[in-house]
Amino acid sequence: KPVITLHDEQKIALVQKAIANGKKIGISKIINDETGDNAQFETKQLELVPIELLLHRNNYYVGSYHLKRQCVVFFNIKQMVSVSLLDKKGTPEHYWEAYTQELAIRFGVTKNIDANVYDIKIEIANVLISFIKNHHWHPSQKITKEKNHYYLHFTCGINRELIGWLCLWMYNIKIIQPPILQDYYKKTLRKMQSNIENQFTLVYRNIFVNAAEEL
């Protein structure tokens, strides 16, 4: 069960009311960077059209249309410092198609590195097969077998959540394709190793949304 405060419950109730009545919501500011949709740590007040309240990894996220950016975004309810119900028509049905398309190409709710959809192939140790089969990771997931080797397939974008999920399996998986996913995975491992070997002060970075940063 998600750990939510009374304040969280109040925000959730306002979001649900806005969705039910097709209204916009106002957010005083968004804190932290959980999904990549607030990677620049913007603190300005914004208006959103809430489309769906999602329970994902034991947290509540609000899938919304960001009116100023003109794109779909996902924020944890805890990222929203305050939520107000605006007396403005939101017409979430106008954004439903864009919303479902965006959700389908994300692994989880995290922002992708680019607009591309990749054919992802991962070799997995056979001891993991039954566990992975019994859990939902992405709508496109499927498992194949080739000469006693098992492979997990996804058709989606690449993001921080996907890399984190791959790290969860430690040395029991191997990325077969695409090369760009291998590169991001290797870079993540290098940076983690560098943290162990160096005594510098850690500075927060999100390499998965900074297109200018070299692999």
pLDDT at 90: 87
The residue type at 41? F
- Residue 1 CB-density burial (10 A; 0-12 exposed, 13-18 middle, 19+ buried): exposed
Looking at residue 116, what DSSP letter applies?
-
pLDDT tens sequence across 20-42: 999 999 999 999 999 999 887 87
What integer is the mean pLDDT of 165-184?
Answer: 95
What is the phi/psi pair of residue 67, to 5°?
-65, -40
Whether 123 has a pLDDT exceeding 50, the answer reads yes
DSSP per-residue string spanning 158-203 = -BHHHHHHHHHTGGGEEEEE-HHHHHHHHHHHHHHHHHHH--PPP-
User: How big is the chain, counted in residues?
Assistant: 215
Looking at residue 49, what DSSP letter applies?
E
pLDDT at 12: 96
What integer is the mean pLDDT of 137-147?
Answer: 93
Per-residue CA distances from 207 to 58, 80, 97, 158 (Å):
25, 23, 29, 12
139 or 209, greater pLDDT:
139
Q: How many CB atoms are located within 10 Å of the residue 181 CB?
A: 21
Q: Which residues of 139-176 are buried (b: 16+ CB within 10 A; e: fewer)?
A: eebeeeeeeeebbbbbebbbbbbbbebbeeeeeebbbb
Handedness of CA 159, 165, 168, 172 (dihedral sign): negative
* Model confidence, pTM: 0.89
* Rounded-to-integer distance, Cα 128 and Cα 137, Å: 14
What is the phi/psi pair of residue 7, to 5°?
-65, -40
3-state secondary structure of 15: helix
pLDDT tens sequence across 7-18: 999 999 999 999
